Every structure is written in C-alpha cells, then in structure tokens.
Amino acid sequence: MIRFEDWLRRQSIPEHTNTLRLSHQNLRDLEGLARFRELEFLDCAHNALTGLPDLGRNPKLRILNIAHNHIQDLGRLPHGLSSLDCSLNDLIRLPEGLSNLRQLYCAGNRLTQLPDLSRWPIRVLDARNNRLSKIPSLPGWITTALFEGNPIVEDESGDDDPS
C-alpha cells in the first residue's frame, strides 16, 4: 500500500489542480490533500483507504467518489459537496449537514439509519444492501430512491411505505 504523500512526490501535479483521478492506485491514506485548495472533483475509488483527512479543508470540492475502500468514518466533508459515492465501504453512519448534496450513493455499507434528508436538495439516493430497518421520510423532489437488500421491517400499521 502506498501513502498519498509518497505517491505525490513521484508526480508533478500543480496545487491549483481542480480534478484528481486516483482510483486503483493502492493508496492507504490521503494525507496532504489539503494543499489542493481548488479541488472540485476527487475520485479515489478502489484503493485501500480506511479513513479520510479533513476534506472540509477542500472547500471547492463538489464531487467525491470514495467507493470500494474500507472507510469507517467520513469525517468532515465540505458543505458544498453535491455528489458523494461512498458505496462499498464499512460505514455505520453518514454525516449530517450536507446541505447541497444532490446525489448520494451509499450502497453496500453497514448503515442502520440515514441522516435527515428533508433539508437536502437530494435527487438520487442509492442505499441498497445496508442494515436499514425502515425507509426514512423522503423529500418530494427525490427522483430515485433505492433500498433493495435492506432488512426493512413493517411498522405497526402493516404499511412500510413512507408516504
């Protein structure tokens, strides 16, 4: 496994870079990412990450793909994030306060509940194959919501439909 700082030393990537595609690099961490203050798009899927640095230090980050890793905690994410793919990790919870998030792909984790989505402009939610026992209340503007593969339990009325 490779440390991000070591990987960076072998590259010549300017700090004003706004896109980093780091998938399939066998990275074990992303320490040092804060130097990329202009970063808008980060793809570090299919690595060996177990955690993330404080991505709130990358305020322009809008699209984040960290799928297919071993991440247990997302830590602090930038408020301007609009798309997050954290599928196929080891997450047990998601952060609150992602007030600009439009797309959330969190399938294949260990989530037992989702944050309150009512104040997010969320349009697409993929929460398949987690440990959700109930479908949360969803905002009316959501266009896609996927919950297959969860142990959904019917409520007392016998109705597991959130509407």
The CATH fold of domain 1-163: 3.80.10
SS (HEC) of the chain: CECHHHHHHCCCCCCCCCEEECCCCCECCCCCHHHCCCCCEEECCCCCCCCCCCHHHCCCCCEEECCCCCCCCCCCCCCCCCEEECCCCCCCCCCCCCCCCCEEECCCCCCCCCCCCCCCCCCEEECCCCCCCCCCCCCCCCCEEECCCCCCCCCCCCCCCCC
Record the pTM: 0.92
Domain ranges in the chain?
1-163
The tens place of each residue's pLDDT in the chain, 163 residues long, gives 999 999 998 998 999 999 999 999 999 999 999 999 999 999 999 999 999 999 999 999 999 999 999 999 999 999 999 999 999 999 999 999 899 999 999 999 999 999 999 989 999 999 999 999 999 999 999 999 999 999 999 765 555 555 4
